[in-house]
Amino acid sequence: MDVRKPQREPPEETERVVFWPGPPAGEVEQRDMFRSLILRSLDVRLRDMLNGSAINAALNDHLLDAAEKVAEQMIAAISTVSVWDDRVGPFYSAATVSTLLSITRQATHKKMQRRQLLGLPVGGDVVYPTFQFHGTEPLPHLSDVLTQLDPDDRDRWGDALWLLTPLDTEGGPTPADLLRSVSAGRTVQQRNLNRVLAEARDAGQLWAS
């Protein structure tokens, strides 16, 4: 008998973190959220960096030039993140994932550490791609796939991109699509799972070589 856990509806207050540029809906809110994340992370790092006396002396001599260089580097980094957002996003915040799964934020973090969730580092924060959820549950066997693909947990952004890339060169389903179709006890779906695991193992060995 195929007994499935009842699916809960996603909470209405679910918040998606979408890096700028993002879809038109909520454009101002997304931009403000991204700006807040940048400023919060930047403030912490600047406080630590400026505690160095040598750096302070350099800034006193070339304050404007130094500030402009930092701004240029930040803009370049933002552009890079936006490219990833187009391929991997949108994202949930850690608070939203906790609400979605009805667990604490500490439990959410532990699930990420155990590879049961895919959390992507952004500055000092972690975001969770929405594609890894099927309704209000993580994709089946996600942990098994991540363990085969990236045993040492070295490249989470690369893991996310692999999960969203069609397995066949001419297109077709992605590993995430096949995992979404998996249900215990069905031959075709078990075949899909076996294929994803085999492809993940091969990709992991290739990356490690």
Residue 55: the pLDDT is 52
Three-state DSSP at 126 gives strand
Residue 50 lies in a domain: yes
Q: Which residues pair with 134 in a beta bridge?
A: 137
Q: What is the DSSP string of 170-187?
A: TB---HHHHHHT--TT-H
Q: Which one of 66, 83, 100 terminates a domain?
A: 83
Residue 30 lies in a domain: yes
Three-state DSSP at 151 gives coil
Number of domains into which the chain is organized:
2
Residue 90: the pLDDT is 85
| Structure-block tokens of residue 96 | 């939203």
CA distance 130 to 60: 45
Confidence class for position 208, pLDDT limits 50, 70, 90 = confident
Residue 164: the pLDDT is 94
Amino acid, single-letter form, for residue 28: V
Summarised one tens digit per residue, pLDDT across range 5-15 is 444 444 444 44
CA distance 41 to 125: 8
Residues 78 and 143 in one domain: no
Helical residues (DSSP H) of 13-62, grouped into ranges: 27-49, 53-61
Residue 87: the pLDDT is 79
Residue 163: the pLDDT is 95
Cα-trace Rg, the chain: 20
Q: Going along 113-191, which residue ranges are E strands?
A: 120-122, 125-129, 133-134, 137-138
Residue 127 lies in a domain: no
Residues 79 and 145 in one domain: no
Answer yes or no: is pLDDT of 1 > 50.
no
Residue 93 lies in a domain: no
Residue 68 lies in a domain: yes
Residue 36 lies in a domain: yes
Summarised one tens digit per residue, pLDDT across range 137-195 is 899 899 999 999 999 999 999 999 999 999 887 778 999 999 988 755 566 678 888 99
Residue 10 lies in a domain: no
Confidence class for position 114, pLDDT limits 50, 70, 90 = very high
In terms of Cα–Cα distance, which of 15, 31, 125, 19 is closest to 77? 19
CB-based contact 167:173 (threshold 8 Å) = yes
In terms of Cα–Cα distance, which of 6, 7, 10 is closest to 98? 10
- How far, in whole angstroms, is CA 12 from its chain's centroid? 21
Q: Which residues pair with 136 in a beta bridge?
A: none
- Backbone φ, ψ for residue 190 (5° rounding): -65, -35
Summarised one tens digit per residue, pLDDT across range 32-51 is 666 666 666 666 666 666 66
Residue 72 lies in a domain: yes
Q: Which one of 58, 83, 108 terminates a domain?
A: 83
Amino acid, single-letter form, for residue 197: L
| Structure-block tokens of residue 65 | 């030039």
Q: Which domain holds residue 209?
A: 139-209
CA distance 101 to 108: 8
Residue 139: the pLDDT is 92
Q: Which one of 64, 83, 102 terminates a domain?
A: 83
Answer yes or no: is pLDDT of 136 > 60.
yes
Residue 171: the pLDDT is 79
Top-confidence residue, 114 or 33: 114
Summarised one tens digit per residue, pLDDT across range 55-113 is 555 555 566 666 666 666 665 555 445 556 677 878 888 989 999 999 999 999 999 99
pTM above 0.75, yes or no: no
Residue 56: the pLDDT is 56
